[in-house]
Amino acid sequence: MAKVRAARAAEAAALTELVMRSKAHWGYDAGFLAACAPELRIRPDEVTARRIAVAENERGTVLGLASLEGAPPLAALGLLFVEPSAIGQGVGRLLYRDVLRRAVELGVRRLVIDADPHAAGFYRAMGAVTVTGPADAAAPAASALVRFDYDATRGGR
């Protein structure tokens, strides 16, 4: 059974590698991954500021990570990536629920998620609602992203 804990600054490079493996799992080519790399890089000084948490198994192996970014009342799920070998084992669900719990504790009322199209079904299944009009947060960095909204005060929209 995986458990969630706060990420450590010393893990930043390993977490970045996990993010890139997870992104590559969906079949993106090397050029696309190289273009994404700067945006997906996790720096040691960002771990706390981005509220990054990790899920790890009983042996301490990190299986995934998620970040809760921004300040109440509006925040964003900045990252949610799972080790490819752990996809489909509930790690993403565990991390997402942890982000929601932390968001509510902080007083966040609305969580914005700019998701990779491959993850859209996951976020819908978790109760997020696709945003079709303008949102309060910055526009997605790439037009290929799907924007979701989660009302943290009502457990969905």
In a domain, 19, yes or no: yes
List, for residues 16-52, the tens digit of each pLDDT value: 999 999 999 999 999 999 999 999 999 999 999 999 9
Q: Is residue 156 part of a domain?
A: no
> pLDDT digit of tens for each residue in the chain (157 aa)?
899 999 999 999 999 999 999 999 999 999 999 999 999 999 999 999 999 999 999 999 999 999 999 999 999 999 999 999 999 999 999 999 999 999 999 999 889 999 999 999 999 999 888 887 554 444 444 445 677 877 776 665 4
40 within some domain: yes
Q: Mapped to the 3 state alphabet, what secondary structure does the chain carry? A: CCEEEECCHHHHHHHHHHHHHHHHCCCCCHHHHHHHHHHHCCCHHHCCCCCEEEEECCCCCEEEEEEEEEECCEEEEEEEEECHHHCCCCHHHHHHHHHHHHHHHHCCCEEEEEECHHHHHHHHHCCCEECCCCCCCCCCCCCCCEEEEEECCCCCC
**89 is a domain residue:** yes
Give the global pTM: 0.87
Residue 157 falls within a domain, yes or no?
A: no
145 domain residue, yes or no = yes
In a domain, 11, yes or no: yes
51 occurs within a structural domain: yes
Range of the domain at 121: 3-151
140: domain CATH number is 3.40.630.30
Q: How many domains does the chain have?
A: 1
